[in-house]
Structure 1
Amino acid sequence: MTGEHPSPPPGAAATPRQEGRLAQLGIRFTAWAERWFPDAFIFVAIAVVIVALGALLNGAPAMAVAKSFGDGFWSLIPFTMQMVFVTIGGYVVATSPPVQALIDRLARLPTTGRGAVGFVAAATMLSSFLSWGLSLIFGGLLARALARRADLRMDYRAAGAAAYLGLGATWALGLSSSAAQLQANPASLPKALLAITGVIPFSETIFLWQSMLVALILFVISVAIAYISAPGPTNAVTAEDLDVDVARESDDLGRPKQPGEWLEHSPILTVLLVAIAAGWIVQEFARQSWITAISNLNTYNLLFLTLGLLLHWRPKRFLVAVARSVPATAGILIQYPLYAAISAMLTGAKNGAGVSASDVISHAFVSLNTTGSFPLAMGVYSAVLGFFVPSGGGKWLLEAPYVMQAANELQVHLGWAVMVYNAAEALPNLINPFWMLPLVGILGLKARDIVGFSFLQLLIHLPVVLFLLWALAFTLTYHPPVMPG
């Protein structure tokens, strides 16, 4: 499914709508990126070296830099595993038989190819408010289900781009926002960062009315662009045109052949495990508000894993889904410890005057900005940096120490600063091949096939998002950091 596929038929490859200047620019940009951009691990490795050199140039002793690197490297293991389970939980839910059946039913609703593309965009973004892991897999499976319809001529590339909009537009404004989750969980935050930001609950980030307004506007705009930019039936390039096999994969696990396999195929243990987990989850939601409960990553992840186990019903089917999801977690496992080390070097490696590299950068932010201009400057900075460090949680650990210190000094609402980061950080995902990889693997496409359409989304999202981040900041009032306890 992930191999090369032939070019679209000549009659469908050169139409103005498909090969307009914006799409051509997006395709050329991604072709360049795929050739010249190394793996994301290389970027984080370069960032480690740059931050270490910056700390040395700031006057920090070499041994202090090395010590902060080592002290910080393992400081985020709980959060790293929590992010891994966000991916696994979303995958096992999206690939369960009931959700697959739901996808098949949803795929029968659109009546036109363009309508199908807009439908994929809407469904993907709605699911991204629950989980970015769920959104990525759900969107890809929905696009494949629609492509199987013989009566619907849908542009498969446009549908693929629409399936990516959860990651490129709205995921960071939802419950699985890495930055918002980190800030709401003091146990997951590095101590140096907690001292700067304090605890920021969901009520001050993703559940601000300003945040929900941004999410609503992005949702409407994205669906409209997906619908309008999709080629009509005459010029649509279908999965069949691209020689992509979209037939449903077999999920037949067969019958147990050995006595020891019987429990793997029996729902008995599933029912008992779900009952035990459900008892704990019910207690968590009973003893506190649902916003507080869902903002705890442990509760959030156990909820998804329990739901996934229940939906798969048989332990064997659940374990197969988990095994298929694990390769998508490799980048998180190896890169997040390095992001933690970067955060520690930024804040912990100090010169003789007790000044860290984070202090120097934050002072630069303060000197170059006012309270009014800070959200716009932070938004632009976060968007640019996001292309080189494609990890919402990891990049937050790199960026937060100095931007949040600057937000305190300029008295910018700290929760809104987190949301400025969230909305801006998602923008480069629209043209960055890193997070496209799991999706294009499901679709049987390459990143260059969908980026022309997602690049068009970026061109419109960028000015809209930056304006909203700047304008809505004036409706909020600064509050000092709130420490746990």
Structure 2
Amino acid sequence: MVSAVDHEPEAAERGLARVAQKLAGWTEKWFPDAYIFAAVGVVLVAVLAMINGASPVAVAQSFGGGFWDLTAFTLQMAMVVLTGYVVATSPPVAKLIEWLARRPNGPRSAIAFVALLACLVSMLNWGLSLVFGGLLARAIARRKDLAVDYRALGAAAFMGLGSVWALGLSSSAAQLQATASSIPESLLQITGVFDFGKTIFTWQSLLSAAVLIVITVIIAAFSAPRGAAIRTAEQMQVDLNDEPEPAGKPTRPGERPEYSPILPWLLGLLTLGWLINEFVSKPFLTVASSLNGYLLVFLMLGLVLHGTPRRFLDAVAKAVPATAGILIQFPLYAAMGAVLTEAEGFNGTTVSHRVSEIFTALGGGGWFAVVLVIYTALLGLLVPSGGGKWLVEAPYVMQSATDIGMNLGWTVQIYNMAEALPNMINPFFMLPMLALLHLRARDIVGFTGLQFMLHLPVIILLCWGLGMTFTYEPPVIP
């Protein structure tokens, strides 16, 4: 017999959370893989280019010519995921996670704690945040003295990627704009190159990140189920055993270097020497904005933290599957961007030029920011990739910003704040963490969907209000 108490969790989740979970169930059933959206996007852009007067030959040439334009950036974005995963799964970080898991004293404070740390870590590396947050949620769920809702813990662990990741050091758009070699030539001629001092290190961006983190933590805490509505990992029959595999031993002389810490420490010292020299000989923002330097430090940090090459290589092997979506989708985004900006139609115009005219017609001031937030959030449901979507949007958005005298650095940050929003309801980037947590998207979207609803008006106000504190700076074309 099922008691009335058994019905209480379902009754407690009426309203917004229940609607959001039904939406998640619908998307799981009907949404195709994100690669399909990228492929459809290329076809749609090609059709629009031909409607705009471009010949099929010109469209095909732009597609093929631009397909590999972003090979370097594609590898860089894949390495962001890989390095974050490797660092997060290292033994010292695992011990840190276990220690942190013992800090909260109650269910709500535990969920708020996970959300806070996930957001703070995402300011360093969004891949690291995704794995770190998931492992922390599992560690807290293992505590026998604390009954915490496992779904709310999972949602809190995801909030780094769902809230502020794009305002941090691994921001795809900010990193792209700071790396001349990664910017497509057509975009480079519009925006030039600008470092983090114009984007993520502005006081307006840092204030926005702080506001969003506070709001995220408050919502996570006060939306957490209580009492009989709580569903623990044990009740959901989730296996929480995270015992590491025992370290192997060399079976022949040639394997001995794989199990020795000497090479990791030597490479770590070389990296440290290089990093110190960079900061001594170059401006701080130049070094901090270097995507290649950022990835080098994280990769070598992962090697040192794992202790031996064998442990490091095992962690890399586990991380590689999480990079598959980036590796096969980014070439399509590059091709899409090339068709948008290079396939000329009537009067020598491109689709990018036509769309930029629409944005330019909005004029300066707040309306541009408001429309850009809404447009970026909606497009993110179809193109769930911060870097890939920026390559699609940037040519016409940045051209429009230049035409109306909008600060280009703040335009990037408007994009960054809005870009994170669709992650809260689109399950694409949830998948690696959900696999780690042994949950389904529908289990957490009720909570992340609430975050989406409450973040949207706040982001619109931040982008509109803080945008008024900027002045236009002409791009510096190298």
Q: 1:258 aligns with which of 228, 252, 262?
A: 252
Please name the residue that 1:76 is paired with: 70
* Equivalent position of 2:172 in the other structure: 178
Residue 142 of structure 1 corresponds to which residue in structure 2? Answer: 136
Q: Which residue in 2 is equivalent to 1:247?
A: 241
Cα deviation 1:58-82 (Å, max 9, x = unaligned): 1112111111111111110000000
- Per-residue deviation, 1:353: 2.0
- 1:96 matches 2:90: yes
Q: 2:354: which partner in 1?
A: 360
Residue 235 (1) aligns with residue 229 (2): yes
**CA 1:197–1:12 in 2, change beyond 3 Å: closer, same or farther?**
farther
Cα shift readout 1:112-171 (whole Å, capped 9, x = no counterpart): 111111100001000000000000000000000001100010000000000000010010
> 1:447-462 counterparts in 2 under 5 A?
447-462=441-456
Aligned-partner residue type, residue 107 of structure 1: A
Instruction: Decide whether aligned partners of structure 1 residues 287 and 359 sit closer, same or farther in structure 2, where only a CA change above 3 A counts.
Output: same
Deviation at 1:12, TM superposition (A): 5.3
Which position in structure 2 is the counterpart of 1:87? 81
> Which residue, 311, 315, 318 being the options, matches 2:305?
311
Report how many aligned residue pairs link the two structures: 477
Q: How many Å separate the matches in 2 of 1:247 and 1:416?
A: 45
User: TM-score scaled by structure 1?
Assistant: 0.96
Identity of aligned residues (%): 55
Q: 2: CA distance between counterparts of 1:375 and 1:344?
A: 25
Structure 1 CA distance, aligned partners of 2:148 and 2:256?
A: 44
Q: Which runs of 5+ in 2 are unaligned?
A: none
Question: How far is 1:198 from its partner?
Answer: 1.0
Q: Distance in 1 between matches of 2:56 and 2:169?
A: 40
Q: Give the secondary-structure state (helix, strand or coil) at the position aligned to 1:14.
A: helix
**Over residues 83-107 of structure 1, what are the superposed CA-to-partner deviations in whole Å (9 max), with x where a residue is unaligned?**
1110111011100000000000000
Aligned partner of 1:434 in structure 2 is 428
How far the C-alpha of 1:291 sits from its partner, in A, is 2.4
Q: Match of 1:470?
A: 464
- How far is the alpha carbon of 1:9 from its aligned partner? 9.7
The correspondence for 2:208, drawn from 214, 217, 223, is 214
Deviation at 1:186, TM superposition (A): 1.0
* Residue 45 of structure 1, CA deviation: 0.3
Aligned-residue RMSD, C-alpha: 1.4
Structure 1 counterpart of 2:442, one-letter code: R
Alpha-carbon separation, structure 1, partners of 2:264 and 2:197: 35
**Residues 1:401 and 2:395 are matched in the alignment:** yes
Offset of residue 10 of structure 1 = 7.3
Q: Return the offset for 1:286.
A: 1.9
SS of alignment partner, residue 225 of structure 2: coil
1:192 maps to 2:203: no
Deviating more after overlay: 56-65 vs 75-84: 56-65
Q: Distance in 1 between matches of 2:274 and 2:48?
A: 47
- The answer to whether the 8 Å contact 1:180/1:418 transfers is yes
> Who is 1:345 aligned against?
339
Q: State the partner residue of 1:3.
A: none
Report the secondary structure of 2:229's partner residue.
coil
* Distance (Å, rounded) in 1 between the aligned partners of 2:349 and 2:357: 11
Question: Given the alignment, which residue of 384, 388, 407 partners 1:390?
Answer: 384
1:307-341 residue CA offsets vs partner (Å, 9 max, x unmatched): 11110011110001100000000000000011011
- What's the offset of the Cα at 1:11? 3.2
Which of 279, 282, 289 is residue 276 of structure 2 equivalent to?
282
CA change 1:13–1:459 in 2 (3 A) is farther
5+ unaligned residues in a row in structure 1: which ranges? 1-7
Q: In 2, distance between residues paired with 1:429 and 1:275?
A: 38
Query: How far 1:15 sits from its partner (Å)?
Result: 3.6
Aligned 8 A contact 2:425 2:449 in 1: yes
Q: Amino acid of the residue matched to residue 136 of structure 1?
A: L
Secondary structure in 2 matching 1:162: helix
On the 8 A contact 2:98/2:139 being kept in 1, the answer is yes
